[in-house]
Amino acid sequence: MVKDYEAAGYWEKKTLWDRLEEWKNSYADRCALVDEDIRISYQQLYDHALQYAAAFAADGIHEGDTVAVQLPNCAAFVEMVFGLFRIGAVPIFVLPAHREKEITGIFNAASPKAYITARTFLGFDYTAMAERILKERSDQQIRYYVADELQNTAKLADVTTLSSDGPCYRDTAFLLLSGGTTNTPKLIPRTHCDYAYNFRMAAEKSWLDSDSVYLVTLPIEHNFPWGMPGVLGTLSVGGKVVIAKTSSFDEVFPLIEEEKVTITAAVPAVLQTWLEALEWEDSYDLGSLRLIQVGGAKLLDSIARKVRPAFNCTLQQVFGIAEGLITFTSPDDTEDIITTCQGKPLSEGDEIRIVDEQEQDVEDGEFGQLLMKGPYTIRGYYGCPEFQSDIFTEDGFFRTGDKACITKEGNLLVDGRITDQINRGGEKVMPTEIEELLLEHEAVQEAIVVPVPDEQFGQKSFAFLKCSREVSFAEVYEFLKSRRLARYKYPDYIRFLDRIPLTNMGKTNRAELKKMAVEDINERT
Ligand code: OOB
């Protein structure tokens, strides 16, 4: 049964623009955004967003039009996106790392009316890419804006011409990209009211208040830094958002010191680079930090345990999925809970099921696929009006594809994807178990285990290792033997790499590693 989330009080009758107006009224002169040497107050954020809205409207962008926005982390992103919210146009959050292949897919799925990019970022020429993409679609008359030129146009826009009409709180506010790595991108419609509920609850779970200073280090277009609590959660309580261009420690550490950052968010791979840097880099005062959120991929317990001693602050594990469900550990959970699981759902309205292959609920404490439904879980992807029975159950639960269980304390414990599990001739091997063990070897810095197809066993395991010195195969096997591990869990293959490939979001690129593993085996035989 789909609950009436509005009647239950989860959804309020306000658009994201209404929210900005409220924040402006409450926190007018407080600092909302810091981007390099630019500091923007709540009042200025509102005024600039209104100017963008007028500029878009004057250029023929209307309610319901989609607009692809692909910008590096910057304050103008926030202003532009709110400008689009004001007129009811729908931004598509394109990651800066996306290239023609992804963008073509997004354009096919959403037919945007406009495309906004930076000129260049990290040595990449976005205008040249945009030119190529738009040339292919010259018949569609897609407007193209370079961010700094648009900023100048917006300054001259006449806001008095703006019509007072706007979107409805239940309309789609923006489109997120699904983390699912298929060829056709899935666009996730998030509504004004579901997302507002989401970031307000996230702000509560992260103990944000008007003294909070949130540092954006992940790409701002991603759900995690955008709203969990991220940019929007911080603005909703009158805090300050500081914007880093990259998650590199030599940018992040000085910003934490200068702006007295209290909270930031990272994926495990980024956290690891920060932890490594802290082993020799002690010249920055990171004492303002209260909370480091880590999510997006499995955080190994052994790494989680390093956070408090290294940063002298609390870790918050976040499990999230752009389609909906978010879980958080609480800052007042025990260290044991914080370092071993992903906490509790954001909302009392969240419904979670853990099911077996027949989609029957498993016994308490057992692992199975995580299914979810709730006040901020989508009911379908953008542009797919028909019911998607491969993605949703008949009663509206979203199939996450994640393998999880609920611990006796009622916390979610995610342990890979259901498809990550290696079935080696009937015997099951969880890659994270082996990875965790391999990391205990003093020379192993990173360890990723993936399944590879095998004629005899169905699947075998392949380990990629990044080591601090030369390590032999025999040494790894001896080490595993000393740990008394079941023989069938030993990796069947090992390859040493200087760098483990990452996805656009900085997650371990398991898909790429699986491909490399297969190629490697083919070369060996
Ligand atoms: C976040 O969202 P997406 O949509 O990019 O990716 C979702 C997938 C999940 O299905 C799960 O497989 C994985 O990423 N994941 C985790 C995790 N958090 C996400 N796996 C293990 N442990 C975790 N803590 O990645 C995302 C969205 C909002 C907040 C945080 C992350």
DSSP 295-344: ESSPPPHHHHTTHHHHHSSEEEEEEEETTEEEEE--TTS-HHHHTT---E
39-48, 447-456, 488-497: the lowest-pLDDT one: 447-456
CA 294 to ligand 1 center in whole angstroms: 10
Alpha carbons within 13 angstroms on the beta-carbon side of residue 132 total: 9
CA 320 to ligand 1 center in whole angstroms: 4
Is the CB of 414 within 6 Å of ligand 1? yes
Alpha carbons within 13 angstroms on the beta-carbon side of residue 513 total: 27
Give the nearest ligand 1 atom to 323 CA. 4
Q: Which residues pair with 266 in a beta bridge?
A: 294
| pLDDT value, residue 102 | 76
Is the CB of 295 within 6 Å of ligand 1? yes
> Could you give the CA distance from residue 197 to residue 219 in angstroms, rounded to a whole number?
22
328-333 average pLDDT score: 98
> Could you give the CA distance from residue 478 to residue 283 in angstroms, rounded to a whole number?
40
Is the CB of 20 within 6 Å of ligand 1? no
Neighbours of 148 (CB within 10 A): 11
CA 329 to ligand 1 center in whole angstroms: 14
Give every strand in the sheet of 38-41, ordered side by side: 38-41, 31-35, 240-243, 213-216, 263-266, 291-295, 314-321, 324-328, 344-345
Per the listing, tokens 């209260």 go with 290
Is the CB of 402 within 6 Å of ligand 1? yes
> Could you give the CA distance from residue 203 to residue 207 in angstroms, rounded to a whole number?
6
Is the CB of 228 within 6 Å of ligand 1? yes
88-97, 440-449, 480-489, 498-507: the lowest-pLDDT one: 480-489
Does the structure show a pLDDT above 80 at 427? no
CA 173 to ligand 1 center in whole angstroms: 21
Give burial (CB, 10 Å; 0-12/13-18/19+) of 109.
buried
- Domain residue ranges in the chain: 2-339, 421-524
State the DSSP H helix or E strand holding residue 413, giving kind and residue range, or none if neither.
strand 412-417
Is the CB of 399 within 6 Å of ligand 1? no
Is the CB of 412 within 6 Å of ligand 1? no
Give every strand in the sheet of 143-146, ordered side by side: 143-146, 114-117, 66-70, 90-93, 172-177, 187-191
Give burial (CB, 10 Å; 0-12/13-18/19+) of 290.
buried
445-454 average pLDDT score: 92
| pLDDT value, residue 183 | 45
CA 162 to ligand 1 center in whole angstroms: 39
| pLDDT value, residue 454 | 84
Give burial (CB, 10 Å; 0-12/13-18/19+) of 447.
buried
Query: Taking all residues of the chain, what is their mean pLDDT, rounded to a whole number?
Result: 93
Token pair of 504, please? 């656009």
CA 298 to ligand 1 center in whole angstroms: 8
pLDDT by residue (tens digit) across 460-475? 999 999 999 999 999 9
Token pair of 42, please? 């709540």
State the architecture of 421-524 in CATH terms. Answer: 2-Layer Sandwich (3.30)
CA 166 to ligand 1 center in whole angstroms: 32
Residue type present at position 437: L
In the three-class reduction of DSSP (H, G, I as helix; E, B as strand; rest coil), residue 142 is classed as coil
| pLDDT value, residue 455 | 81
Is the CB of 268 within 6 Å of ligand 1? no
Does the structure show a pLDDT above 90 at 98? no
| pLDDT value, residue 181 | 40
- Cβ 295 vs Cβ 341: under 8 Å: no
Does the structure show a pLDDT above 80 at 185? no
Q: Whose CA is nearest to atom 22 of ligand 1?
A: 298
Longest dimension (CA), the chain: 75
Does the structure show a pLDDT above 70 at 388? yes
- Cβ 244 vs Cβ 73: under 8 Å: yes
Token pair of 484, please? 């008394």
Peptide bond connecting 229 to the previous residue in cis, omega within 30 degrees of 0: yes
Dihedral sign, CA of 419, 423, 428, 434? negative
Dihedral sign, CA of 141, 147, 153, 157? positive
485 or 428, which is more confident? 485
Pocket mutation for ligand 1, best pick of 317, 321, 338 (most atoms within 8 Å of C-beta): 321
Residue type present at position 71: L
CA 324 to ligand 1 center in whole angstroms: 10
Q: Is 313 left (phi over 0), alpha (psi -120 to 50) or beta?
A: beta
Give the nearest ligand 1 atom to 400 CA. 10
60-64, 137-141, 184-188, 501-505: the lowest-pLDDT one: 184-188
> Could you give the CA distance from residue 56 to residue 366 in angstroms, rounded to a whole number?
52
Q: Whose CA is nearest to atom 12 of ligand 1?
A: 402
Does the structure show a pLDDT above 60 at 2? no
Does the structure show a pLDDT above 50 at 360? yes
CA 184 to ligand 1 center in whole angstroms: 19
* Spatial CB neighbours of 309, under 8 Å, sequence gap ≥ 6: none
Does the structure show a pLDDT above 60 at 489? yes
Q: Whose CA is nearest to atom 25 of ligand 1?
A: 296
| pLDDT value, residue 180 | 53
Per the listing, tokens 């900085």 go with 506
Is the CB of 191 within 6 Å of ligand 1? no
**pLDDT tier at 364 (50, 70, 90 boundaries)?**
confident
- Cβ 169 vs Cβ 14: under 8 Å: yes
Is the CB of 320 within 6 Å of ligand 1? yes
Q: Is 336 left (phi over 0), alpha (psi -120 to 50) or beta?
A: alpha
Is the CB of 196 within 6 Å of ligand 1? no
Give the nearest ligand 1 atom to 299 CA. 22
- For the domain made up of 2-339, the CATH class stated in words is alpha beta
Is the CB of 503 within 6 Å of ligand 1? no
**pLDDT tier at 426 (50, 70, 90 boundaries)?**
low
CA 337 to ligand 1 center in whole angstroms: 18
207-228 average pLDDT score: 97
Is the CB of 298 within 6 Å of ligand 1? yes
Give the nearest ligand 1 atom to 295 CA. 24
Task: Tell me how far the alpha carbon of residue 91 is from its chain's centroid.
Answer: 17
Q: Whose CA is nearest to atom 16 of ligand 1?
A: 297
> Could you give the CA distance from residue 410 to residue 269 in angstroms, rounded to a whole number?
27
Question: First vs last Cα of the chain: how many Å apart?
Answer: 54
DSSP 18-29: HHHHHHHHHHTT
CA 219 to ligand 1 center in whole angstroms: 14
294-323 average pLDDT score: 94
